[in-house]
Structure 1
């Protein structure tokens, strides 16, 4: 049951991996890729996916290297649901869908409060760059650099990382109706941590969504055009 729920069937993966015409305008290519991603992840809200995709494309226009993969976390969903998706942008396919934790002070069954402040034990939303992997107290882990000033740019100082955790599992859901909570990190099941880290390390993008209206209307990555962001200096990753 777990493998069926968490990974896209091989036949469907092959069905969505068709080549795009090279003569189409960039906007058309993006539209087709977005449609393929939506077909590959039918349980991901299309508005959330479109928002994440827009943010990633805006980041590229701002100087971020074109990512090969994109992770989307939908914090509007309860933690008992698989709310992490990782996409291969080059092939237009879903690599993984799984559980992911939020911070203990962000909420219980659902996350509703977010912070960029050290010691808050809350999750942060917005666009992140996945940086280097390392071995720490939680084992194999991945550092994240927040790209949005005032929203998540203290992620590295806060040690907001992707790591594995025993409390992120179906057993916890079956026992408590939710998974456990972190100190703000997007912790994942120990069974998939290596796959998650290896797919995202080295500069891939991670987008954490929540329908916070202030952020949705003020984020540079969600309200950008090439005129306003071209040449803009983003915070350098450590």
Structure 2
């Protein structure tokens, strides 16, 4: 009986020691394959486009985009990427057609007035914070508000941007989002937390990305990655 018990213990020990490395190798292989796919898509888009988001930003965007598409939370093959690590004086918004792997738009976009001056460095999900919220959104419906035609956004990350709709964080036009404003003030104008766009582009952008496309706002802050299941 003692012999059988000892044999069973040895069997269990060797089972765990042999299966764990296999699982680890499988996980590493999946991560490598995902990175290879991301690099391939990124390089293809880059070859078609004058400008692109940084690879670190795009990697997070594509990971969340694929997850949300699989979950049915977004419907379109459009990915809007906003990189708030960049100066507001640069064109830091991209709309990418993931089906054709091309950049359709690259333009200026504002951040919240309490998120920073030229650079955004503070983010919040709180009402009346006047700060931008990071993370993944699904675009909603068009409505006419105080800024004219605007597009509602639904934050898809609890505790990160989930109050977007109740806060009134929307895509809208603003005359302070322009090269002329930058020349006069040495930085872009700021919103109350909305990703505001140039007046000459807003209508066509809204018409394109409305109705459940993916919008991702990026910044390399560890507080976000620690909370986000989509980007981490």
Same structural fold, with TM-score higher than 0.5 when normalized by the shorter chain: yes
After superposition, residues 149-164 of structure 1 pair within 5 angstroms as: 149-164=158-173
Select which of 41, 48, 53 maps to 1:33: 41
TM-score of the superposed pair, with normalisation by structure 2: 0.80
Q: 1:117 Cα shift?
A: 0.4
SS of the residue 2:113 aligns to:
coil
Equivalent position of 2:54 in the other structure: 45
After superposition, residues 126-141 of structure 1 pair within 5 angstroms as: 126-141=135-150
Equivalent position of 1:180 in the other structure: 189
CA distance in 2, matches of 1:167, 1:134: 21
Over 3 Å counting, the alpha-carbon distance change for 1:32 and 1:114 in structure 2 is: same
Please say which of residues 135-144 and 26-35 is displaced more in the overlay: 26-35
Q: 2:140–2:153: 8 Å Cα contact kept in structure 1?
A: yes
CA distance in 2, matches of 1:98, 1:30: 23
Over 3 Å counting, the alpha-carbon distance change for 1:35 and 1:67 in structure 2 is: farther
SS of the residue 2:192 aligns to:
coil
CA distance in 2, matches of 1:111, 1:186: 12
Select which of 54, 69, 91 maps to 1:60: 69
CA distance in 2, matches of 1:216, 1:41: 29
Q: 1:28 Cα shift?
A: 7.1
CA distance in 2, matches of 1:191, 1:52: 26
- Corresponding position: 1:212 with 2:218: no
Over 3 Å counting, the alpha-carbon distance change for 1:41 and 1:216 in structure 2 is: farther
CA distance in 1, matches of 2:193, 2:89: 17
Q: 1:123 Cα shift?
A: 0.4
Considering fraction of residues, name the structure with more helix. 2
SS of the residue 1:157 aligns to:
helix
CA distance in 1, matches of 2:45, 2:190: 29
SS of the residue 2:164 aligns to:
coil
1:75-94 deviation digits (Å, cap 9, x = unpaired): 00111111010011111111
- Corresponding position: 1:221 with 2:221: no
SS of the residue 1:167 aligns to:
coil
What is the number of residues matched between the two proteins?
Answer: 199
TM-score of the superposed pair, with normalisation by structure 1: 0.78
CA distance in 1, matches of 2:35, 2:70: 13
SS of the residue 2:166 aligns to:
coil
Provide structure 1 residue ranges, at least 5 long, that are not aligned to the other structure. Answer: 1-24, 224-238
Q: Which structure has the bigger radius of gyration?
A: 2
1:100-137 deviation digits (Å, cap 9, x = unpaired): 00001001111100000000000000000011111111
Select which of 192, 198, 201 maps to 2:201: 192
Over 3 Å counting, the alpha-carbon distance change for 1:31 and 1:119 in structure 2 is: same
